[in-house]
Amino acid sequence: MNDDPALFERFLEMLAAESGASPNTLSAYRSDLEQASRRLGGKLAIAGREELKQVGQHWSGLKNSSVARKSSSLRRFFGFLLEEGFRDEDPSDALPRPGISRNLPKVLSHEEIANLFSILKEKLEFDPVKPSDVRLSALLELLYGSGLRASELVTLERRSLAIDRQYLIVKGKGGKERLVPISDQARHSVRLWVSLTDPQEKYLFPSRKGHISRVRLFQIIKELAVQAGINPGKVSPHVLRHAFATHLLEGGADLRSLQTLLGHTDISTTQIYTHVDSARLVELVNDRHPLGRRNLSR
């Protein structure tokens, strides 16, 4: 697996569908990847940590902002390779990390989520209902209700879901399996979708080439966002995963539980969600801390 150009194209296609990246942004990603590939003799996709260290050392004379952008391009590319099964491990931790602040995840409000499900409900009330809308219902329920990654969702196998179980067996990054709770509503939506598909299919969301692609999943979700009156650039499967985590935290979930549900190896990855609940934390301090309950004017 050393076909860098072909993998670059697949990655950029995914990036365009996921975030609606502009041509200039895609061009910058392509440039960063191609430069690193040339330095490694066309073998960036199979590079290890030592090779990536050499690439990072070559950036030593650049500004922090440039190094951060190049590192981000390569890290995102290696994350794509891992999620798509082209690699079993991610060596990108060997790349430099200059002191650039990390962007907070996009968050959908409760009202925006309600709008998405409202449009979906209208679709499901048609008689006869379209199979594509039944599939959309199952996809949305699993994205927002269980916080699955896009790659985890599209590769779910039929055997992952059992009628007598209230959880899914999900294979996440690095091939690691975890149990993910599934709500009664999501189970109902998935069972309805399964009843419309061939029992011989391997995947829960099949297509002619195996399973629905990540790119098609992004397109479906953005189409629903437009119908719900939401800027499609603000909505993606990953944003719905963020909404799942954010709204759980607002509801009182702890970070350790959230880490398990999201399948994060390191809790530092989960801690980015702490920004969303600052109002509840202030209220907690004022209501529960001894100083908050005292009349300080006395």
Which residues belong to the active site?
149, 173, 238, 241, 264, 273
Structure tokens at 78: 């290696």
Asked if residue 244 lies in contact with residue 154, where contact means CB atoms within 8 angstroms, the answer is no
Grouping H, G, I as helix, E, B as strand and the rest as coil, residue 169 is strand
Name the amino acid, one letter, at 98: P
For residue 223, how many other CB atoms are within 10 A of its CB?
13
**CA dihedral in degrees (216, 218, 220, 226; nearest 10)?**
-150
What phi, psi does 157 have (nearest 5°)? Answer: -95, 155
Encode burial over 79-88: b for 16+ CB neighbours within 10 A, e otherwise.
Answer: bbbbbeebbe
Could you tell me which residues are beta bridge partners of residue 248?
A: none
